[in-house]
Amino acid sequence: MPPFGLLHMRAWASLFGQLLRPRRAVFIREVRVHSQVAEAVLTSQLKPHQEKSHFVIKTPKGTRDLSPQQMVVREKILDMVIGCFKRHGAKRIDTPAFELKDFDIAGQFDPMIPDAECLKIMCEILSGLELGDFIIKTSWKDVRHEMVVKKGLAPEVADRIGDYVQCHGGVSLIEQMFQDPRLCQNKQAREGLGDLKLLFEYLTLFGIAEKISFDLSLARGLDYYTGVIYEAVLLQTPAQAEESSNVGSVAAGGRYDGLVGMFDPKGYKVPCVGLSIGVERIFSIVEQRMKTFGQKIRTTETQVFVATPQKNFLHERLKLIAELWDAGIKAELLYKNNPKLLTQLHYCEDMGIPLVVIIGEQEMKEGIIKLRLVASREEVAIKRENLVAEIQKRLSES
């Protein structure tokens, strides 16, 4: 899997035109490798004396097929991620590169406000996905190189910062560095620590400071980061560590103020900060945990199944299911003229469908429909004209 934040140059080229237009822009980059549906390779192996063709269907390299159960899990992850992005005012663009979900804030703003929001978004997504406890490490890119070469710090001051590389913590660590005379006497070091202190003030207001660890040992491998960097890792219990291999980071990001200018002949710079969510890595973690605990996944969203205990009731079932569909209720039936009732009920239990409506001769005579609760196997009689309203009521309460 590529490092988080690394995008194909074409992705940035398409992003560039969007970035230069508005003063404030927040984007979701939806980046992926290939469609999982459209690119099967068919190889004909027809020989001259054969009447039939034999085809070998191959999955394109770099992709994999997903089962219905896997698609349900993956879509839930994507819905959680994209929903969070939209909650924070994101606009959506699509750039074909790697399988990540990215959120970026572009524009000239006061220090650390966008950076703090990116960390807040990361916390919301990881908490919502219920992956377990996590920590987000934050630092800045290539500490000593930044301090000496780019910020003009004296080497001995940078070396003093290096003494803190083995430390990690929150505001207390930053306060400790503020009190170090060899750091606080230098303007650049003092400004940098001031930005970090401000960042933690905002993180405290957002209620996520305990999830963030200032860690100077953190180093991102990409050259375009220019300031604060961060990386989220899951905290495993000893039992979890034995059961699975180290998954590495599940989200990461940082500030990259100089990258967009690479695509402008005039060198116009757009300050940017963003984050990437490793969808495929998270999907693998969730999938493995589900296998471990034997969790069952519903592959459909069907709410009601239309059944009958008798023969020659297909027309009545079709009229009934059409009424449910027209009311916006997710419903299905077996595609058989005369299915056995036990087969229909077993299907509902296997697929996790919560409700069954049953129509037969007796129900027709009495002007009712039987409504069966699959979980409890309880059945109640509902007047035919009240069926849709009763189903909607029960679905809203579940």
Give pLDDT tens digits for 194-217: 888 899 999 999 999 999 998 877
Least confident stretch, 26-30, 136-140, 184-188, 189-193:
26-30
Looking at the fold, whether 219 and 325 belong to one and the same domain comes out as: no
The share of the chain scoring above pLDDT 90, in percent, equals 43
Residue 242's pLDDT is 53
Residue 282 domain flag: yes
Least confident stretch, 85-99, 150-164, 244-258, 356-370:
150-164
Answer whether residue 221 shows pLDDT above 50.
yes
Domain CATH number, residue 314? 3.40.50.800
Residue 16 domain flag: no
- List, in order, residues 6 or more apart from 321 with CB less than 8 Å away: 306, 331, 332, 333
- Cβ-contact 232, 253 below 8 angstroms: no
For residues 121 and 83, what is the distance between their CA atoms, to the nearest angstrom? 11
What single-letter amino acid sits at 166? Q
Looking at the fold, whether 312 and 255 belong to one and the same domain comes out as: no
How confident is residue 22, by pLDDT bands cut at 50, 70 and 90? Answer: very low
For residues 189 and 155, what is the distance between their CA atoms, to the nearest angstrom? 12
Residue 215 known to bind ligand: no
Task: Decide: helix, strand or coil at residue 93.
Answer: strand
The stretches of 110-226 forming alpha helices (DSSP H) are 113-128, 143-145, 155-162, 171-178, 181-184, 187-205
- Domain holding 249, by residue range, is 68-93+101-238+245-293
Looking at the fold, whether 191 and 232 belong to one and the same domain comes out as: yes
DSSP element (H, E) containing 70? helix 68-87
Residue 104 known to bind ligand: yes
Looking at the fold, whether 352 and 387 belong to one and the same domain comes out as: yes
Other beta carbons within 10 Å of 375: 11
Residue 173 domain flag: yes
Looking at the fold, whether 282 and 325 belong to one and the same domain comes out as: no
Looking at the fold, whether 288 and 311 belong to one and the same domain comes out as: no
Residue 224 known to bind ligand: yes
Looking at the fold, whether 249 and 322 belong to one and the same domain comes out as: no
What single-letter amino acid sits at 22? P
Q: What is the pTM of this model?
A: 0.73
Q: What is the mean pLDDT of residues 254-267?
A: 81
- Strands, E assignment, the chain: 25-31, 41-44, 55-58, 91-94, 100-106, 134-140, 168-169, 212-215, 228-234, 249-255, 272-277, 304-307, 331-332, 355-358, 368-373, 378-383
Answer whether residue 296 shows pLDDT above 70.
yes
Residue 381's pLDDT is 96
Answer whether residue 270 shows pLDDT above 70.
yes
Residue 23 known to bind ligand: no
